[in-house]
Amino acid sequence: MRVGIAGASGYAGGELLRLCASHPDLDVAVVTAGSAAGGPVAAVTPALAGAYPDLVMAPMGAGVFDGLDLVFLALPHGASQDLVPELDGSVGAVVDLAADFRLRDPSLYPVWYGEAHRSPHYLERFVYGLPELDRGPLRGTRLVAAPGCYPTAAVLALAPFVRAGVLDGSSVIVDAASGVSGAGRAPKANLHFGAVDGSMVAYGLLDHRHTPEMEQGLSLPVLFTPHLAPMSRGILATCYARPIPEARLDSGAALAILRAAYHQEPFVVVRDDPPATKDTAGSNCAHVTARVDPRTGWLVTIAALDNLGKGAAGQAIQCANLVLGLPEQAGLPTTGVYP
Contact indicator for 143, 93 with CB cutoff of 8 Å:
yes
CATH for 149-307 is 3.30.360.10
Closest CA to 249 of 166, 171, 155: 166
Burial category of 72 from C-beta neighbours within 10 Å (exposed 0-12, middle 13-18, buried 19 and up): buried
Question: What is the C-alpha to C-alpha distance for residues 97 and 92, in angstroms, rounded to an integer?
Answer: 17
Q: Alpha carbon of 78 to those of 109, 209, 241, 251: distances in Å? A: 10, 13, 33, 42
| Per-residue pLDDT tens digits for 147-160 | 999 999 999 999 99
pLDDT at 223: 98
pLDDT at 291: 98
pLDDT of residue 136 exceeding 90? yes
pLDDT at 236: 98
pLDDT of residue 46 exceeding 90? yes
In this prediction, what percent of the chain has a pLDDT beyond 70?
Answer: 100
> Which amino acid, residue 78?
G
pLDDT of residue 140 exceeding 90? no
180-197 CB burial, b ≥16 within 10 A, e <16: bbbbebeeeeeeeeeebe
Helix axes 211-218, 149-163, angle to 10 degrees: 20
- φ/ψ region of 12 (left if φ > 0, alpha if ψ in -120 to 50, else beta) reads alpha
Report DSSP letters for 253-309, one per residue.
HHHHHHHHHHTT-TTEEE-SSPP-GGGGTTSS-EEEEEEE-TTT--EEEEEEE-TTI
| Per-residue pLDDT tens digits for 159-178 | 999 999 999 999 999 999 99
Question: What is the C-alpha to C-alpha distance for residues 136 and 251, in angstroms, rounded to an integer?
Answer: 31
pLDDT at 139: 95
| Per-residue pLDDT tens digits for 281-320 | 999 999 999 999 999 999 999 999 999 999 999 999 999 9
CA 5 to chain centre: 16
Name the class of domain 2-148+310-323. alpha beta
Contact indicator for 278, 339 with CB cutoff of 8 Å:
yes
Catalytic, out of 20, 149, 239, 319: 149
User: What confidence category does residue 185 fall into, taking pLDDT thresholds of 50, 70 and 90?
Assistant: confident
Q: Which residues contact 155 (CB under 8 A, 6 or more apart)?
A: 130, 133, 147, 214, 217, 218
116-155 CB burial, b ≥16 within 10 A, e <16: ebebeebbeebbbbbbbeebeebeebbbbbbbbbbbbbbb
User: Roughly how many angstroms between the first and final C-alpha of the chain, as a whole number?
Assistant: 34
Q: Show the beta-strand stretches assigned E in 150-193.
A: 172-178
> Which amino acid, residue 320?
A
Q: Looking at the whole model, is its pTM more than 0.85?
A: yes
Residues in the chain: 339
What mean pLDDT do residues 229-257 have? 97
pLDDT at 35: 87
| Per-residue pLDDT tens digits for 80-100 | 999 999 999 999 999 999 999
Contact indicator for 237, 175 with CB cutoff of 8 Å:
yes
The values of phi and psi at residue 214, to 5°, are: -65, -45
Q: Which residues contact 14 (CB under 8 A, 6 or more apart)?
A: 8, 44, 45, 47, 48
Query: What are the residue ranges spanned by the domains of the chain?
Result: 2-148+310-323, 149-307
Contact indicator for 179, 229 with CB cutoff of 8 Å:
yes
> Which amino acid, residue 104?
R
Query: Is 149 an active-site residue?
Result: yes
| Per-residue pLDDT tens digits for 198-217 | 999 999 999 999 999 999 99
- φ/ψ region of 2 (left if φ > 0, alpha if ψ in -120 to 50, else beta) reads beta
Residue of 187 and 321 predicted with greater confidence: 321
